Amino acid sequence: MNFKFKIKHLSPFIGSEIQGLDLSEPLSPESLKQLRILWLDRKVLVFPDQKLTPQQQINFTQQLGELDKYPFLEGLNGYPLIAEVLKLPDEKINFGGVWHSDTSYLKKPAAGASLLAIEVPDIGGDTIFCNMHRAYEALSEEIKSEIQHLNSINTSAKDQVSKTRFHRLTNSQRKQVPKVFQATHPVVRYHPETGEKILYVNEAHTLHIEGWSQQKSDSLLNELYLHARKPEFQCRVKWSIGTLLLWDNRSTHHYPINDYTGYRRLLHRVSIKGERPV
């Protein structure tokens, strides 16, 4: 395909940097079509040096799908669909600092999101993504057969990830006990647009395999988590002010690295509404 923008791949199987597009203006139908094809294939797209207002970030993201509000953060003042992903210099824990797929505790988890870098440390604060279709494909046939028809219980209240929300919820004006969300999803889901099989469990939100003992469930899940994090399934995104990242949440996991304590980091996230995994 003759793309209307420049593409630089970040790794062999996931992640591409896009140059030659100004996201502050609506994309042409042809550019949008090409961008969607590339997004579904590469899972993670990085657009450097974008100068976007909050409304322009919303306008760009909604070209990829219907938008949704993140359930645990108040929106930016005047822009309820923009969640501030913030870490202050004196905070030791970063928001969402566990390997995860966003909102898998909802019946209809996010299909994807855009994330715009507003303030970043001079060094550190990178984010790692992994391709969960590739992770599934690399499993042994024995494990594929074992997990093919299993379901997992997913919750928003696992202790490890709940701790990463502490500072933001403490500083929230709502001052209320967070609601607990829970949903059951297949361990192997099908991507609704590509048909790819995807390994769909994650450390932050998957509680256990439905119908299994916790011990047996933990044994399998820990094996799957470690497998999915192999470097050959990964790309690493280095942030600069004005970098906008677009990822397919259905087919990836990500991990925000917490190596910048003492520095302020702020990103604006806009979520795309998803569908029920099957």
Residues in the chain: 278
Instruction: Respond yes or no: is residue 265 known to be catalytic.
Output: no
Picking from 247, 260, 266, 245, the residue whose alpha carbon sits closest to that of residue 57 is 245
198 DSSP β-pair partners? 189
State how far the Cα of 200 lies from the Cα of 244, in Å rounded to an integer: 25
Instruction: Respond yes or no: is residue 102 known to be catalytic.
Output: yes
Instruction: Respond yes or no: is residue 165 known to be catalytic.
Output: no
Catalytic hit among 134, 167, 265, 269: 269
Show Cβ contacts of residue 234 under 8 Å, excluding neighbours closer than 6 positions.
11, 14, 128, 129, 130, 131
Instruction: State CA 44 to chain mean position distance.
Output: 9
Q: Is the dihedral of CA 99, 229, 148, 196 positive or negative?
A: positive
Catalytic hit among 42, 68, 102, 250: 102
Cβ distance 18 to 243 under 8 Å?
no
Cα 244–157–160 angle (5° rounding)?
Answer: 70
Catalytic hit among 134, 254, 265, 268: 254
State how far the Cα of 63 lies from the Cα of 78, in Å rounded to an integer: 20
> Where does residue 273 rank: exposed (0-12), middle (13-18), buried (19+ CB within 10 A)?
middle
Instruction: Respond yes or no: is residue 269 known to be catalytic.
Output: yes
Catalytic hit among 100, 133, 134, 185: 100
Instruction: Give catalytic residue positions.
Output: 100, 102, 254, 269
